[in-house]
Amino acid sequence: MFTDRNQHRVRWLIVAVFAAAMAWMESAAVFYLRAMIGRIEPYQPNPLPIVGGFGQVELARELATLIMLLMVGLLAGRTWRGRLGYAAVAFGVWDIGYYVFLKLICGWPHSPLDWDILFLLPLPWWGPVLAPVLIALLMIVWGTLASRSEQEGPHPGTSPLPWALNFLGIGLALYVFMADALHTCGQGVDALRNMLPTRFNWPLFLFASLLMAAPIFPRRRRPIGACATTKSDAQAQS
């Protein structure tokens, strides 16, 4: 018989293996596309060229990837906390694995500070490789804790403040990734396609990362009544 802890380990491993396999598929597909358009390194002039119908297909592929990662979390978890936790683990493993496999396939990225186009929805996201990897690590940590504790039931003592800080951090991080695109989108599609950022706002991103990490560190206080009951029970047993 598997204990709850062993069941969690098996489920976590299955989700991680699935995400790693998806990461290889993702990196292989991106390698094929970049090789065909001569963009192995995304940070170069004309980074988003118009080639056939690749643009719309790529947008749909990104959306499909996100749906698949969410679905594996929904299948693995037994509660909504656990499902979201496993989905976060899947996303984190997939994102880190994607860069590891790209490095193995084509030698890029050369360093964690190389610029990359992270997503295209709703506008191009630009950032050094290290930035999404840090977020992926946060997702793995939180997802592991959330999926491991799903058998504990509701957490009435958990404050909503950590989640408010988390959503604020997500908003700030999205702004950092899309700041250049937001400033350029008014100049038309061609300007957006040819945009190359020159500076990444690390201070604001690191602050956003601290806010996003808030749900990892909440501390629940045990009700006084519960402590008294536990103490009296221990005295009765002795």
Q: What is the pLDDT of residues 50-88, one digit of tens each?
A: 665 677 787 888 889 999 999 999 998 888 888 999 999
137-148 mean pLDDT: 92
227 pLDDT exceeds 70?
A: no
Higher-scoring residue by pLDDT: 202, 189:
202
Assigned domain for 80 exists: yes
3 pLDDT band, cuts 50/70/90, is low
Mean pLDDT of the chain: 84
- Looking from the CA of 183 toward its CB, the CA atoms found within 13 Å total 9
135 in any annotated domain: yes
Average pLDDT for residues 131-146, to the nearest whole number?
A: 94
Tell me the mean pLDDT in the region 211-220: 79
Residue 180 pLDDT exceeds 60:
yes
Cα R_g (the chain), whole angstroms: 21
Range of the domain at 57: 4-155
**Range of lowest pLDDT (13-27, 89-103, 113-127, 162-176):** 113-127
28, part of any domain: yes
**What pLDDT, on the 0 to 100 scale, is given for residue 49?**
72
Specify if 114 maps to a domain: yes
- The answer to whether position 73 is within a domain reads yes
What total number of domains does the chain contain? Answer: 1
Least confident interval from 23-32, 185-194, 205-214: 185-194
Q: What is the pLDDT of residue 221?
A: 45
| Inside any domain, residue 122 | yes
Residue 127 has pLDDT above 80, yes or no: yes
Q: How confident is the model at residue 153, as a pLDDT?
A: 53
The answer to whether 81 touches 149, Cβ cutoff 8 Å, is yes
What pLDDT was estimated at residue 12?
93
Contacts for 108-114: CB closer than 8 Å, 24+ residues apart? 108/40, 108/41, 114/41, 114/43
Structure token digits, residue 237: 């047993």
In-domain check, residue 142: yes
Whether residue 192 is predicted with pLDDT greater than 90 in this model: the reply is no
Distance CA 131, CA 138 (A): 11
| pLDDT band with cut points at 50, 70 and 90 for residue 225 | very low
- Residue 148 placed within a domain: yes
